[in-house]
Structure 1
């Protein structure tokens, strides 16, 4: 009996599905209706909690042809208590979404979308051709009927072609993705997405061929590589990262624009409020182009090495010519030495005759002579003088109206050599302790970028960023090689000069002992080391350039500018130049303010007021130090002495300044620095580090120009080699600054806005404008160092009491 009942039921299910539906409806059960659906046909239907509709589709999948399928849905009912759920069941994947779709923005604000479009991923097939079925299930929990519209269509241009532009539209609820297959012989491609409109903000993602595809604003960052974009996005993709030799290019329009630098719209923060997203449709173009091959990498590296190694070759040839010239004029050099010695002896005899009646001067001269022969290896050096004989008369000497180098070169050379060698050892120590954590940090940055795929972390020029190994932009790192090689070359040149000078001292040549600018090479060694470290730290910065590590690229630029100014001052003031400890302490304060400015300076009025006041006070204190050659004290009586000077010099007798040349330099320096302080206070530039570097460079250029003008005004001349270096360096600096101000990226803006400035490579299809800046600026700094090194070579046979101090 039971068997008979079961057989009857089976027959009813097999032959009377309509009767079954009526029976289930009469009993109050959920009715499931399956319909054979066709592509490119729009279905208008209604769904309730009592009925569920299944649309069945079938299509032929070919192994040699990739065809996309897109599901488009629109909710026609104006309001529904419950959303409509769509579930797409494929052979190896399930895609589900609800209508209306709720996407969250900043501060958990919710946006509602009633029109959706989703592209289905295509499962791979091993057969030449295979018929696959997929089903679209439509259901809801709403008891009232909800009207909807469904359309499934084929995407004919689903596979992107190499070097062929393809245009499409996208919205937050209707994302798009396409497939690209690596052609034979191409291992690296660059995917570029462009748009004529800045907003709405979008995201471009590169994902492996797998299901599901993450193509919504709230999940697009889950896998693959991605970057936000306004008008431009570019990602370099390598075949080795995708085992299937293909990948998806996914483009998603974001619900809000804050990630791309857009304004934040104000809304009341109500917990259940649904915001209207408005019209956020965006038209975009995508093109996939082959990237450079290994031959271009090799050519770029050989070009970089060839440029800077040519300086080594040129230096070697000039050294050979100089040695031949030295051999040819050796006898003439001996005559010049004899002439310098005779002139020195004549001046000493005149000095003795004129000052024979002054016992104090005689005692001072005897003590100076005695100090030059005594062993002073155990004497320690501080900021100023320690020798008793110099303490006794330096106030008189330094207040003379016209000073000569001999007046400020009275200390034993061994003491000063030790003093200035500290500059080199200190900067070498600083370099080690500074560079090691920097290298560790940028390696971490690069690892985070590679693991997370978030390419908004680093501000590259993505249109000319060539990866190598784990490095995302190898060309920007390689172009810093010039700083290291030219810094090393400068150290070798200084070493050669140092050795020749020491040999001359060992032979007791009077031209080395009593003529020319006193030669102390410690600052030169420090400058060469700083140039090498600038290259290393600039390379570290360009591993992942961003807001938080920009100071790596500028720290040693401050040091180079400071060391150059100290070297200029030391040339004519060897006895009273600052010690290495105080100099590096001041530079550390500058770097400290640089970090504070980057972190707190943007839009902070209090910070800019404090910095401007400190800047002006530091300028005044340094001006006073330079004008009085260190012979003043900062104590409680400073105001009384200032008023006394103003009364006696300006009111009582109205006399002009005693040191006209120094006064002109310092007045100009104060005008420049006060103007820069006012500009910073008014404009408040976002890039505080560059603003601070501009202050240092302006002061260096001002002092350099003053030095050259005063040198010519004092009757000195500039030799041919130094003149060639000056002209060559000026021209190279001009071209270098031109490429620097091209501005291919900027961390002052959002990553998407920074990419608007990206441009293609312009040199060998490998280097961009910023790489050329690296090339030219390293050459220009090397030339500037050579100018400092050779500028006073014309004084090598001139007695020091005939060389003026300025």
Structure 2
């Protein structure tokens, strides 16, 4: 009646105002939009019918452009009880010229929608829905109990009568209960949302939505209690936190983010499945063509569970610190026991460190029979030859483990000669080391007059003394460059990474888009601005154990330098030459792996995965270089060459992530480069660095294979090296073939697998050749090897659990999410971080200690392999 009077006053006096009560402002809006009230033109007469309506009653009616129906509802709202109200509409007519407009007017909100509801998908494709269901938002009330009114206005511009059904009902279980599962059905035109109120004593909860159906794709959202509620596919991302899902979805919600201590859980089914990795629908034939969406209903269930409290955070941090501090304690105890053993040995067998083996009456211990090397490569030291020549019946001495005798006078003269020789060597060494501008390329200390380096390095059996002729100070500086270079790389690499991940985390927190980061949402514990603090904390082991390894190396470096200062013959002439630069670089790389892995886990996704793998490539490369350096100190690669090669590996890693997925051309190019690099490196290793790498290398390789192998049918000169290189080529060619055929999506992990396979192959070869050469492995190194192998096995088990994967869509990745398994705080991937950091630390200790048995063996009796 009010609208009718409004219309009559407007019709009689078109220039006069249409007065209306302020409390019915929404009717004024309806008058203006539907009847033309307040406009200059005179609209057509429209009859308005208002009906008192009731809940849970289905109203069948017809609407045309000439009539409008208003359904008036009322219900009692209590402050201590929240009831949901749902409006369901069906349009029974087909082929409508104009849709029906439904406007729901509430006390503090207006909700409007048309039926058929047109929802747009990718490329603006249109999907009509004739059945629409919407839940009305529930504004908070201050009164203990009050009656609220709302109206449903139905109108259309179609001149033909349109049949529709209207039903308003109360939503059962609109307020979710803690730890109580609730099932419901949703579709694109019938979204659902529910309210949750934080109970006393609970500050953080995890909202879990599950379904047995992969598709249709859906979205879950957490929104504050306000009107309107954004519950359609085209507006659900406007506010709050949201994520796409297929079977699983989980969002951690904190009380501090919601001042009302409550929030809405909104579930929307998308019109298309591309966001969840589903098939891409066909293009419409015409831009205005409507596409039948089919049946896209989805059955889901929602449950809200309390998250962990502050005590669990504290226990998790203490557990993490306790594990790795125990390694510091264990290292301290081992060091104390070792010092006690050394001191006791000195007391029982006094043997001044600055006395030569001849002065003590002993040669450096070399009790080994070198297997296949014994008949060709063994050479005795000058002291041993002298002792053998002067041996008689009644005095003492040792030749290896065999006693021999020598005359007292000759023995005394021999001691004097050795002392003089030592003094001259010491003076020469001091003068040489006093040079301030000694560089590796200035001169070569190899005695070319007596033996050319080409001849030495191509002997059938080389000793370490043959490849350790360069000045020790020059080599020490050469290998220290590894440490300084990786430190510089770490600074320039880490700072932009930290800045980038902070930006990622800020974007996630501001936009609420949780599809940006690939967490294990079922075990992602936030702390401050960080969304998954536990994944970051678990990387602490890399940093702490990397620092511990640096301290261990520093101790060995100090002990070795002290021995060099007092001219200890064992340090000067025995054992594997001690160069610690690569060890320092390895420890730094382990620490940087922890830092960059933590940065990656701030927001893991496919665009920053190389942060987690870059220093893994460096660790694998540095370990291989260290293994090679042990027996080839003079000809090991320089730091600049090594890091340039590692930079090329990282470059290909980035290219593979960006272009490698399904790109046949990229995989062909990479496989060819992989095979060629394997061949060139094999040639360089086989000829001990005496092979020129230039444009004619391939031609020379073919020529040598033809002349030495095919035409003469002769076997390889260096059988052991050839066995290693043949096995290495087989492995690498197989990996290249696998990549070319399978073309794995995770190119970075594939590249890392290549590096690890080559490292393991070379390490196994080193151990086998060491044992085959008659050398032994000390107890500490053996314990480290066995312990590291066991830990690596368990670590890889947890790594392959695959709790998330950036190779798929975020929704598909969440299908792999699982609950925490350790202290309610750490998941499988966190355990991988713990175990892999321990395993890497153990691997480094193996490299550091595996040749300790050679510390008293002269270098001309240590074989190169």
Decide whether aligned partners of structure 1 residues 369 and 561 sit closer, same or farther in structure 2, where only a CA change above 3 A counts.
farther
Matched, 1:609 2:609: no
Name which of 332, 343, 364 aligns with 2:363: 343
Q: Give 1:379-418 correspondences, 5 Å limit.
A: 379-382=438-441, 386-387=444-445, 389=447, 393-418=452-477
> Could you tell me whether the CA contact under 8 Å between 1:372 and 1:412 is conserved in 2?
no
Q: Give 1:774-785 correspondences, 5 Å limit.
A: 774-785=833-844
SS at match of 1:328: helix
* Alpha-carbon distance in 2 for matches of 1:388, 1:505: 21
* Alpha-carbon distance in 2 for matches of 1:642, 1:726: 38
Matched, 1:210 2:223: no
SS at match of 2:153: strand
* Alpha-carbon distance in 2 for matches of 1:425, 1:61: 71
* Alpha-carbon distance in 1 for matches of 2:494, 2:710: 55
- Following superposition, the deviation at residue 390 of structure 1 comes to 5.2
SS at match of 1:116: strand
- Following superposition, the deviation at residue 386 of structure 1 comes to 3.6
1:599 aligns to what? 658
SS at match of 2:738: helix
* Alpha-carbon distance in 2 for matches of 1:665, 1:268: 61
1:87 aligns to what? 103
> Could you tell me whether the CA contact under 8 Å between 1:385 and 1:575 is conserved in 2?
no
2:828 aligns to what? 769
* Alpha-carbon distance in 2 for matches of 1:417, 1:349: 28
Matched, 1:801 2:818: no
Matched, 1:498 2:557: yes
* Alpha-carbon distance in 1 for matches of 2:358, 2:257: 73
2:351 aligns to what? 334
Decide whether aligned partners of structure 1 residues 352 and 653 sit closer, same or farther in structure 2, where only a CA change above 3 A counts.
farther
Name which of 59, 66, 70 aligns with 1:54: 70
2:804 aligns to what? 745
> Could you tell me whether the CA contact under 8 Å between 1:33 and 1:54 is conserved in 2?
yes
- Following superposition, the deviation at residue 323 of structure 1 comes to 1.1
> Could you tell me whether the CA contact under 8 Å between 1:340 and 1:515 is conserved in 2?
no
> Could you tell me whether the CA contact under 8 Å between 1:368 and 1:389 is conserved in 2?
no
* Alpha-carbon distance in 1 for matches of 2:234, 2:317: 42
Q: Give 1:461-476 correspondences, 5 Å limit.
A: 461-476=520-535
Name which of 278, 281, 284 aligns with 1:268: 284
SS at match of 2:678: helix
2:577 aligns to what? 518
- Following superposition, the deviation at residue 645 of structure 1 comes to 2.4
* Alpha-carbon distance in 2 for matches of 1:551, 1:34: 65
Name which of 432, 435, 450 aligns with 1:374: 432
Name which of 240, 244, 248 aligns with 1:232: 248
Name which of 607, 610, 613 aligns with 1:551: 610
Decide whether aligned partners of structure 1 residues 169 and 505 sit closer, same or farther in structure 2, where only a CA change above 3 A counts.
same
> Could you tell me whether the CA contact under 8 Å between 1:340 and 1:510 is conserved in 2?
no
* Alpha-carbon distance in 2 for matches of 1:635, 1:785: 35
Q: Give 1:620-639 correspondences, 5 Å limit.
A: 620-635=679-694, 637-638=696-697
2:12 aligns to what? none
> Could you tell me whether the CA contact under 8 Å between 2:596 and 2:612 is conserved in 1?
yes
Matched, 1:665 2:724: yes
> Could you tell me whether the CA contact under 8 Å between 1:390 and 1:410 is conserved in 2?
no
1:288 aligns to what? 304
SS at match of 2:199: coil
Could you report, residue by residue, the CA deviation over 1:241-293 in whole angstroms, capped at 9, with x for unpaired residues? Answer: 00000000000000000000000121334111001110000000000000000
- Following superposition, the deviation at residue 326 of structure 1 comes to 1.1
* Alpha-carbon distance in 1 for matches of 2:700, 2:820: 62
- Following superposition, the deviation at residue 78 of structure 1 comes to 1.2
Name which of 710, 725, 733 aligns with 2:784: 725
Could you report, residue by residue, the CA deviation over 1:507-543 in whole angstroms, capped at 9, with x for unpaired residues? Answer: 1000000000000000000000000000000000000
Decide whether aligned partners of structure 1 residues 637 and 198 sit closer, same or farther in structure 2, where only a CA change above 3 A counts.
closer
* Alpha-carbon distance in 2 for matches of 1:430, 1:650: 45
Matched, 1:321 2:379: no
SS at match of 2:143: coil
> Could you tell me whether the CA contact under 8 Å between 1:442 and 1:540 is conserved in 2?
yes
Could you report, residue by residue, the CA deviation over 1:425-482 in whole angstroms, capped at 9, with x for unpaired residues? Answer: 0000000000000000000000000000000000000000000000000000000000
Matched, 1:485 2:544: yes
Matched, 1:300 2:316: yes
> Could you tell me whether the CA contact under 8 Å between 1:340 and 1:798 is conserved in 2?
no
Decide whether aligned partners of structure 1 residues 593 and 644 sit closer, same or farther in structure 2, where only a CA change above 3 A counts.
closer
Name which of 58, 63, 72 aligns with 1:42: 58
1:674 aligns to what? 733
* Alpha-carbon distance in 2 for matches of 1:219, 1:719: 68
> Could you tell me whether the CA contact under 8 Å between 2:363 and 2:384 is conserved in 1?
no
1:127 aligns to what? 143
* Alpha-carbon distance in 1 for matches of 2:522, 2:695: 61
Number of corresponding residues: 772
> Could you tell me whether the CA contact under 8 Å between 2:445 and 2:469 is conserved in 1?
no
Could you report, residue by residue, the CA deviation over 1:342-399 in whole angstroms, capped at 9, with x for unpaired residues? Answer: 5379723688999xxxxxxxxxxx99996785234312225x9744745971111101
Matched, 1:697 2:697: no
Decide whether aligned partners of structure 1 residues 637 and 583 sit closer, same or farther in structure 2, where only a CA change above 3 A counts.
closer
* Alpha-carbon distance in 2 for matches of 1:459, 1:105: 24
1:359 aligns to what? none
1:438 aligns to what? 497
1:788 aligns to what? 847
* Alpha-carbon distance in 2 for matches of 1:730, 1:541: 27
SS at match of 2:351: helix
Q: Give 1:238-257 correspondences, 5 Å limit.
A: 238-257=254-273
> Could you tell me whether the CA contact under 8 Å between 2:284 and 2:291 is conserved in 1?
no
TM-score in terms of structure 1 length? 0.93
> Could you tell me whether the CA contact under 8 Å between 2:210 and 2:302 is conserved in 1?
yes
> Could you tell me whether the CA contact under 8 Å between 1:722 and 1:791 is conserved in 2?
yes
Name which of 678, 684, 692 aligns with 2:743: 684
* Alpha-carbon distance in 1 for matches of 2:58, 2:727: 79
* Alpha-carbon distance in 1 for matches of 2:72, 2:581: 84
* Alpha-carbon distance in 1 for matches of 2:350, 2:854: 14
- Following superposition, the deviation at residue 646 of structure 1 comes to 3.1
Matched, 1:166 2:185: no
> Could you tell me whether the CA contact under 8 Å between 1:83 and 1:100 is conserved in 2?
yes
* Alpha-carbon distance in 2 for matches of 1:665, 1:372: 41
Decide whether aligned partners of structure 1 residues 390 and 369 sit closer, same or farther in structure 2, where only a CA change above 3 A counts.
farther
**Which shifted more, 716-725 or 372-381?**
372-381
SS at match of 2:815: helix
* Alpha-carbon distance in 1 for matches of 2:862, 2:528: 57
- Following superposition, the deviation at residue 626 of structure 1 comes to 0.3
> Could you tell me whether the CA contact under 8 Å between 1:195 and 1:284 is conserved in 2?
yes
* Alpha-carbon distance in 1 for matches of 2:124, 2:839: 52
Q: Give 1:184-199 correspondences, 5 Å limit.
A: 184-199=200-215
> Could you tell me whether the CA contact under 8 Å between 1:398 and 1:407 is conserved in 2?
yes
Decide whether aligned partners of structure 1 residues 372 and 609 sit closer, same or farther in structure 2, where only a CA change above 3 A counts.
farther
RMSD: 2.2
Name which of 704, 711, 714 aligns with 1:655: 714
SS at match of 2:381: helix
**Which shifted more, 390-399 or 750-759?**
390-399
